[in-house]
Amino acid sequence: MTRATVAIDLSVLEENFRTIRDKVPHGVKMLCVVKADGYGHGAIQVARRLEAIGADYFGVATIEEAIELRNDAIRKPILVMGGLMPWDDTNTLWDYELTPVLADFAGLSRLARDAEKRKVTIKAHVKVDTGMGRLGFSLDEMEAVAEALQGARYIHVEGVMSHFASSEQQDAYGRSQIERFKNVVKYLGDRGVVPALLHMANSGAVCQYPEAYFGMVRLGIMLYGSYPDSSLAARIRVRPVMKLTSRIAYVKMFPPGSALSYGRTFVTQRDTKVACVALGYADGLPRALSNKGSILIHGRRCPMIGRVCMDWLLADVSELPDVEAGEEVILMGEAGGESITADEIAGHTGTIPYEILCGISKRISRVYV
């Protein structure tokens, strides 16, 4: 028996993958994003399952993340989406058969120079900033980009990509990004840079911008059963892959007027039965859930009371007469027709489900179902 467990249901991951794949046209490739340790789900285990069921490509943020996958015998192409950093060892790109994203001239020049020395061609994807305002070549740099690529005889431009600023909503800005992207692709094509793969659509755009599917889509948060925006749940139904549980360590009774936990932010108004649950913000449960969140015990919601601590949280279980120490508590998951999702937790804490999932601490053991 452990203090807390993160259960990852790989059959649900597979179900989500197939659900999204059925949404996009036949022939559109599926890049599965497994950066940040598979959004907290375990990149290796997630990639193994997705590779087995037909993922075409994997996306990571860093070379180190890509090497971890290769060392576990993941063979599908891996796109290093964070670009080529000044501190990166380019030798690893060839050694581990990785595909870098080129997002600036320093990275492009360095890769071209190193490829020329090796006399070995390397695949790369060129990133264009169509309005995200972060990584990628700007539109007014396209002439210089085309020139540089024409002179880089050992760089094979396999792909050109971009990123929506707010793919979860359909609007004129998103459509203008698509048009800019198309114009860039045509401009580069007219100058001999003709990539096999064009990709722009992430999870939100899979729901909102079918005209941006192009040759490949990038599946991130929806693979794991959450949404860029809760309104998208009506478009594609996916289920959470992660279940977070802990246990009740103590059950205590407090009379009216008792102040509970740090800061005395909760004072009992009646005789109150309190469960002390062995999980806190060091495990990734946001402190902002204090006096806001819920847990599930016996399939029923019980409110969190008082401040969430580093290793503990308190819950009012006065309505549950049979609660005992040692029993399981669900922090994220489903029981008895009730469910608590990362999306719900994010809503309570003013953040996004990505941060909730990625923030679940490594000190909680992962179990793969």
Q: Are strands 57-60 and 29-33 parallel, antiparallel or unpaired?
A: parallel
Q: Which of 173, 186, 252, 262 is flagged as catalytic?
A: 262
| Spatial separation of the C-alpha atoms in residues 298 and 336, rounded to whole Å | 7
Residue among 139, 83, 136 nearest 111 (CA)? 83
Q: What is the DSSP string of 92-159?
A: HHHHTT-EEEE-SHHHHHHHHHHHHHHT--EEEEEEB-SSSSSSSB-GGGHHHHHHHHHH-TTEEEEE
User: CA quadruple 231, 232, 234, 237: dihedral positive or negative?
Assistant: negative
Q: Which of 29, 35, 123, 127 is flagged as catalytic?
A: 35
Q: What is the DSSP string of 168-210?
A: TS--HHHHHHHHHHHHHHHHHHHTT---SEEE---HHHHHH-G
| Spatial separation of the C-alpha atoms in residues 63 and 60, rounded to whole Å | 8
Active site residue 250: no
CA distances for 277 relative to 3, 255, 331, angstroms: 9, 20, 10
| Spatial separation of the C-alpha atoms in residues 76 and 67, rounded to whole Å | 13
Active site residue 243: no
Contacts (Cβ under 8 Å, ≥6 apart) of 172: none
Q: Which amino acids are annotated catalytic?
A: 35, 262
